[in-house]
Amino acid sequence: MTGFKLTTLLALSASALTLAACGSSEVASPGEGDFGGGTGGGGGGVTPPAPGTPAADCPTGFANVGVVAAGTLRACQLPTTITGNLTVPLRAGTIYSISGRTEVGNDRGADPAAPVAGTQQGILTIEAGVRLYGSGGSDYLLVNRGSQIFAEGTATNPIIFTSRANVEGTTTENSQGQWGGVVIAGRAPTAVCPVGVTAPNIACVGQVEGTSANYGGNNPTDNSGRLRYVQIRYSGFEISPNNELQALTLAGVGSGTVIDHVQAYNSSDDGIEIFGGTVNLSHIVINGADDDGLDTDTGWRGGAQFGIITQRATAVTNGSRGFEWSAAPSGTAFYAQPKVSNWTIVGRNAAVAADALLTLNTGTQPTIINSVITNPSTSAAACLDIDDAQTVTNAPVFRSVFFACNRPYENDSNVNAVATEAVFINATNVGNTATGVSSMTAPAGATLTAQSLAFINGANETAVTPANAPAIYSFFTAVTYVGAVRNAADTWYQGWTCGLQAANAAAPSLTC
């Protein structure tokens, strides 16, 4: 598949409205006052260019760095550091460049009541339909502690973060790792503590993987803004071994932050990685990640409902899973407590045996309910691997979970398959099924590869009685089904995502 096709660019140019700049009306984090002033933005009063031609200039606050996409789009570069209010407006003939480490605000420290002296806040607002790109692995967007991002697209006009190669039309369905990604750092609790300090504590802070940015604090309700109807394409980059950027990194992000209808497409590392914090997510699509779909570390204690993960047909890395959940350091009393409901995970056709779709390790206390985990019949990977004895002691919760893998349980050297099965089907974990047979089928003409999903429940999945989700975690909503979608008529994933096989030809997904 290609990048932004010329027809898409023409449609954008023809339909885009020039909107005046205005910062978000959100109030800054408690104790930090109003932002005031700012660098502005917007393109009020500018006459839109003819379809297929670049804008003549850039909005106030952005650098004009030439044209891209065969000369059809004006490239306007975001400032290296954004302080005050900056709006990225939807303008005809315009696309926005992220060059190098692009920061929203300075790191204001762990305590909102005592921000670091000499630092400034930032609020970045991105309008629906805006496209932004990075050109290389060192290009990424970082929202620092004490600042906020409001990137709110719509179901028909999502915000797209992508690579320059994609803009130029040279990406394929196997492209990945072409720019950094999006990082949000907040002040919510983490498990990374100094010697002698027990979490949660304001002294428990960490450094975001792939950056030198700090995250963490002791504000569970910290608000880093909102991401809604957002795509992040072709991102992820290895800074050094075991030190990578993902499509979306959420580090110490609090429950006041909204992450809703977000897609990670073809990340070279994880789709989404969460380090500590209490953020909740809903309506997530992760397709084509080279490593894990949803990876968690350092004590995440939030939840996620309604999610689709489909793995790449093949992967460059080893150890790729649907979920890989851990707390760090191992043995910490501040367990990770990830909670998910209504996810469908489809594994790759070929996978090494150790790549279990669910891998729970290093002191995790997970809750997984109303979800479907399935592999093609040719896959060697198990559905579940409990990789840590402490996780067994923490009594993982599984309710109304359907496994369809040749090997339901991994015979791990730490916790063998018999012990793993005993956890999955114990007296309190009810409604669970482990079988080698799934009745889900791929859409017509599609196969179980990275970019086409069998995520519509068949009779075997439909037969599972769902658990009462809000009774288990208040963020969850009540459902009458297991898995990410109710049936073929439930199309929350369509219209704003790309590279995802639609359930019917009448509602195709966007081209990536």
Q: Are 167 and 68 in contact (CB under 8 A)?
A: yes
Same domain, 207 and 306: no
Residue 120 lies in a domain: yes
The closest alpha carbon to 461, from 439, 484, 442, belongs to 439
Q: Give the model's pLDDT for residue 242.
A: 67
Q: What is the rounded CA–CA span in Å between residue 25 and residue 39? A: 15
pLDDT digits (tens, 9 = 90+) for 78-102: 999 999 999 999 999 999 999 999 9
Last residue of a domain, one of 198, 215, 234: 234
Same domain, 289 and 226: no
Q: Give the model's pLDDT for residue 344.
A: 94
Strand partners, 449: 452
Q: Are 402 and 410 in contact (CB under 8 A)?
A: no
Residue 265 lies in a domain: no
Same domain, 370 and 498: yes
Q: Give the model's pLDDT for residue 42.
A: 45
Same domain, 230 and 285: no
Same domain, 192 and 320: no
Residue 202 lies in a domain: yes
Q: Give the model's pLDDT for residue 51.
A: 79
Q: Give the model's pLDDT for residue 421.
A: 94
Same domain, 111 and 227: yes
Residue 464 token pair: 């599972």
Q: What is the rounded CA–CA span in Å between residue 394 and residue 363? A: 8
pLDDT digits (tens, 9 = 90+) for 309-364: 988 766 555 567 899 998 866 566 788 999 999 999 988 766 666 689 999 988 88
Strand partners, 295: 273, 324
How many domains in the chain?
Answer: 2
Q: Are 206 and 214 in contact (CB under 8 A)?
A: yes
Residue 348 lies in a domain: yes
Residue 71 token pair: 């000369």
Residue 248 token pair: 């979306």
Q: Can you count the helices (H) and strands (E) in the chain? A: 6, 32
Same domain, 223 and 96: yes
Strand order, beta sheet including 101-104:
81-82, 101-104, 140-143, 181-185, 248-251, 272-275, 294-297, 323-325, 358-360, 382-386, 407-409
The closest alpha carbon to 209, from 110, 85, 336, 297, belongs to 297
Same domain, 425 and 509: yes
Residue 363 lies in a domain: yes
Tell me phi and psi for residue 167, to 5 degrees. -65, -40
CA quadruple 91, 97, 98, 104: dihedral sign? negative
* Cα pseudo-dihedral 97, 101, 103, 108, rounded to 10: 180
Q: Are 206 and 298 in contact (CB under 8 A)?
A: yes
- pTM for this model (two decimals): 0.89
Residue 249 lies in a domain: no
The closest alpha carbon to 461, from 478, 484, 427, belongs to 484
Q: Which residues of the chain have pLDDT under 70?
A: 1-46, 239-242, 313-319, 328-332, 349-354, 441-454, 501-510
Q: Coil, strand or helix: which one is 460?
A: helix
Residue 124 token pair: 């970045």
Residue 409 token pair: 């349980």
Q: Give the model's pLDDT for residue 363.
A: 81
Q: What is the rounded CA–CA span in Å between residue 42 and residue 492? A: 31
Same domain, 508 and 393: yes
Three-state SS sequence of 377-406 = CCCCCEEEEECCHHHHHCCCEEEEEEEECC
Q: Are 247 and 236 in contact (CB under 8 A)?
A: yes
Q: What is the rounded CA–CA span in Å between residue 342 and residue 365? A: 18
Same domain, 488 and 351: yes
Q: Are 75 and 96 in contact (CB under 8 A)?
A: yes
Same domain, 9 and 154: yes
Q: Are 473 and 465 in contact (CB under 8 A)?
A: no
Q: Give the model's pLDDT for residue 4.
A: 44
Residue 268 lies in a domain: no
Residue 156 lies in a domain: yes
Same domain, 482 and 338: yes
Q: What is the rounded CA–CA span in Å between residue 267 and residue 121? A: 29
Q: Give the range of the structural domain holding residue 481, as residue numbers without chain letter.
A: 279-512
Amino acid at 245: L
Q: Give the model's pLDDT for residue 333.
A: 74
